[in-house]
């Protein structure tokens, strides 16, 4: 496999453009955009414009392989045309791949072909993955060498006719670069663009539908509070592409800002620290606090040159105050927290230019509405300082959950998306999150739904009852704790319970704490009292 040179001009400036007369558009649709920031119908149009303006500029790199923006457009167009031949327009493509050059190109190509892409967690067990694939109902499923065997078996089982393998053993970047150049397919802004799986009050996975309009609204929201410089930034991302944060900070924001994007295949602290120096990174897309704690704990942290860094970003789980302060002191670079969700982002961001308040998720971008409503009806807007459920409205939020009409009725009412999160605004318009109505656990930025684990534990022949909760964890934000009532005359150890869970659950869902009890606490109506379990879990730490 060749090393792709960032200086190879595959698409000269005078041959890149086909029909991008609407790129950039007049800003009548985006009145809040900062001066000189472009307005595009879709992120594919933004990629085409970047290649036209700077075809030789480095676009994306993963390990030793790099694509210029001209090459990026070339391979995306070639793969999009192949997807088009498989009839993906207005259909769905599922991706089961780890972070890579191929995964990035594949997802962009799928959107260019007017398909709705659904990146799925390649580390899920088959028991976790199959229900999501069934829900997506993809016309094509895309894999890499590491997931090929599992994906092909699942495709055969579910009757999915088309499996495309990218990378080793399949279609490579060299193959795509060798193909003749044709017109880059272009989607429409109203097309469905992506599905990100989240959870609800039932704890069952739900696919949040997004359009190209919502992905571009993400760019506009970010640019208003985190105004990165066009054509200048060098971004590194370690978050997985199947997570909304990793997707947006690998495929969407870097292309919009015409930045250099450094994709890490996996989070390894020593390699991330090397990239800061080697690539002169200006923006670390980051993620939850656990990533920063891991970097800070690495033996090479004190020797790393952070002088090129302008801003580090965090989302997915709150950062401790000590981390926010110590990171800036050690690196000279500010660490900014933001809040989003699979249903849409950004909701609130700690501003790059302005007051930062520790413990707050910042202020809302002007293209979003974020209100705190009363917990009883969800209609009354709460006064400053009073708590309620946070509801959202704006172009960046989901059009609804796929195949979930009842969830849509419950969560999306009168145009408002109800988050299930409880918070309040202070007198300066800064939002503070204080609790969750949902029982969801956030482990290192990943959503974990207790019911899924409970139901697995219920299937064990030795277990009578079980309840899982989240308990505070200094590294991952929260960890999973399981409380178990055994059947009469049955015996189990904590290690046996964890081994049992590992057969069906990804690592971060496996309980790190297992406690055997004689009975589970109950409410007055006989329901398991998880609030009491939370108190017990915190007290036992």
Written in H, E and C, the secondary structure of 352-388 is CCCCCCCCCCEECCCCCEEEEECCCCCCCECCCCCCE
On the question of a cis peptide bond just before residue 24, with omega within 30 degrees of 0, the verdict is yes
d(CA 258, CA 263): 15
Instruction: Tell me the domain boundaries of the chain.
Output: 441-539
Residues with Cβ within 8 Å of residue 219, at least 6 apart in sequence: 43, 46, 252, 253, 256
Q: Per-block average pLDDT, block size 10, for the chain (541 residues)?
A: 30 35 48 82 97 97 95 98 97 98 98 98 93 97 98 98 98 97 93 85 77 96 94 96 94 97 95 96 92 92 96 85 91 94 94 90 95 94 95 96 94 94 94 79 86 89 92 89 94 97 95 94 70 76 57
Query: With helix as H, strand as E and coil as C, how does 442-466 read?
Result: EECCEEECHHHHHHHHHCCCCEEEE
Cβ pair 395, 367 in contact under 8 A: yes
What pLDDT does residue 293 have?
87
- CA-angle at 293, arms to 292 and 298, nearest 5°: 100
Asked whether 138 and 92 are in contact (CB, 8 A), the reply is yes
Q: Is 62 left (phi over 0), alpha (psi -120 to 50) or beta?
A: beta
From CA 83, how far away is CA 52, in angstroms rounded? 23
Among residues 220, 301, 303, 284, the alpha carbon closest in space to that of 257 is found at 220
Q: What is the pLDDT of residue 3?
A: 33
Q: How far is residue 97's CA from residue 192's CA, in Å, rounded to a whole number? A: 21
Q: pTM for this one?
A: 0.85
Reported as type and span, the H/E element at residue 260 is strand 260-263
Residue 216 phi, psi dihedral angles, 5° rounding: -70, -35
Kindly give the pairing relationship between strand 234-237 and strand 283-284: parallel
| DSSP 8-state code for residue 509 | G
Token code pair at residue 432: 């503070």
Q: Which of 219, 200, 197, 221 is nearest to 209 (CA)?
A: 197
Closest CA to 414 of 369, 363, 367, 361: 369
DSSP assignment, residue 174?
H
Of 45, 175, 20, 193, nearest in space to 119 by CA: 193
Dihedral sign, Cα of residue 112, residue 117, residue 121, residue 127: negative
Q: Which of 37, 420, 364 is CA-nearest to residue 206?
A: 420
DSSP state of 100: S
Q: Which of 283, 160, 166, 155 is nearest to 229 (CA)?
A: 283
Q: Which pLDDT does position 8 carry in this prediction?
A: 26
Structure tokens at 464: 């009578």
**What is the CB-side half-sphere exposure of residue 182 using CA atoms within 13 A?**
11
- Concatenate the DSSP letters of all residues of 283-332 into one string: EE---SHHHHHHHHHSTTGGG---TT--EEEE-SSPPPHHHHHHHHHHHS
Both tokens assigned to 365: 């971008």
3-state DSSP helix/strand/coil percent for the chain, to nearest 5?
30, 25, 40
CB neighbour list of residue 351: distance below 8 Å, 6 or more residues apart:
225, 226, 336, 362, 363
- Report whether 457 contacts 374 (CB < 8 A): no
Question: For residue 439, what are the contacts with CB-CB under 8 A and spacing of at least 6?
Answer: 203, 449, 450, 451, 469, 530
Torsion of CA 228, 229, 235, 238, to 10 degrees: 10
List the structure tokens of 134.
Answer: 């069934």
Please give the biggest Cα pair distance in the chain.
78
CB 369 within 8 A of CB 363: no
Q: How far apart are CA 163 and CA 152, in angstroms?
A: 7
Do the bridges between strand 283-284 and strand 311-314 make them parallel or antiparallel, or are there none, so unpaired?
Answer: parallel
Contact 299, 254 (CB under 8 A): no
Angle between the 289-297 and 269-278 helix axes, to the nearest 10 degrees?
80
Architecture label for domain 441-539: 2-Layer Sandwich (3.30)
Query: What residues form DSSP beta bridges with 348?
Result: 339
Burial of residue 541, with CB atoms counted within 10 A of its CB: 0-12 exposed, 13-18 middle, 19 or more buried: exposed
How far is residue 280 CA from its own chain's centroid?
A: 24
Task: Round to whole Å and give the CA distance between 203 and 124.
Answer: 16
């Amino acid at each position: 496999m060749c090393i792709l040179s960032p200086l190879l001009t595959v698409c000269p400036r005078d041959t890149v453009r086909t029909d991008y007369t609407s790129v950039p558009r007049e800003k009548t649709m985006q009145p809040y955009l900062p001066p000189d920031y472009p307005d595009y119908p879709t992120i594919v149009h933004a990629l085409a414009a970047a290649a036209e303006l700077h075809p030789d500029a480095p676009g994306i790199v993963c390990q030793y392989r790099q694509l210029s923006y001209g090459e990026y457009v070339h391979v995306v167009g070639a793969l999009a045309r192949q997807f088009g031949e498989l009839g993906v327009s207005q259909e769905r493509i599922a991706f089961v791949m780890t972070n890579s050059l191929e995964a990035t190109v594949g997802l962009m190509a799928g959107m260019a072909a007017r398909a709705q892409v659904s990146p799925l967690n390649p580390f899920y067990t088959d028991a976790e993955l199959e229900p999501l694939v069934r829900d997506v109902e993809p016309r094509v499923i895309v894999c890499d060498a590491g997931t090929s065997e599992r994906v092909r078996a699942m495709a055969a089982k579910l009757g999915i006719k088309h499996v495309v393998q990218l990378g080793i053993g399949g279609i490579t970047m060299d193959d795509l670069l060798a193909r003749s150049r044709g017109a880059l397919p272009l989607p429409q802004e109203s097309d469905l663009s992506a599905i990100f799986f989240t959870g609800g009050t039932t704890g069952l996975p739900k696919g949040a539908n997004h359009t190209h309009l919502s992905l571009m609204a993400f760019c506009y929201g970010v640019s208003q509070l985190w105004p990165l410089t066009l054509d200048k930034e060098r971004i590194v991302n370690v978050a997985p592409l199947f997570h909304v944060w990793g997707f947006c900070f690998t495929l969407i924001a870097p292309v919009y800002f015409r930045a250099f994007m450094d994709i890490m295949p996996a989070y390894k602290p020593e390699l991330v620290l090397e990239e800061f120096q080697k690539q002169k990174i200006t923006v670390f897309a980051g993620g939850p606090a656990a990533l920063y704690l891991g970097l800070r704990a690495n033996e090479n942290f004190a020797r790393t040159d952070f002088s090129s860094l302008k801003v580090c970003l965090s989302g997915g789980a709150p950062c401790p105050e000590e981390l926010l302060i110590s990171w800036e002191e050690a690196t000279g670079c500010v660490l900014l927290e933001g809040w989003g969700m699979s249903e849409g982002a950004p909701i609130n961001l700690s501003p790059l230019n302005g007051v930062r308040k520790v413990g707050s998720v910042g202020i809302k971008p002007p293209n979003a509405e974020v209100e705190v409503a009363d917990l009883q009806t969800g209609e009354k807007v709460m006064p400053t300082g009073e708590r309620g459920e946070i509801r959202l409205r704006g172009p960046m939020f989901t059009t609804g959950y796929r195949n979930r009409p009842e969830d849509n009725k419950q969560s999306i009412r009168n145009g408002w998306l109800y988050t299930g999160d409880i918070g309040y605004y202070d007198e300066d318009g800064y939002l503070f999150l204080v609790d969750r109505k949902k029982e969801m656990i956030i482990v290192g930025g990943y959503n974990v739904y207790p019911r899924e684990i409970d139901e697995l534990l219920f299937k064990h022949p030795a277990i009578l009852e079980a309840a899982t909760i989240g308990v505070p964890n200094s590294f991952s934000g929260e960890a999973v704790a399981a409380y178990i009532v055994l059947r009469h005359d049955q015996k189990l150890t904590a290690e046996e319970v964890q081994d049992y869970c590992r057969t069906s659950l990804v690592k971060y869902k496996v309980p790190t704490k297992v406690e055997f009890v004689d009975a589970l606490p109950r409410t007055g109506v006989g329901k398991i009292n998880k609030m009491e379990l939370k108190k017990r879990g915190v007290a036992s730490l």
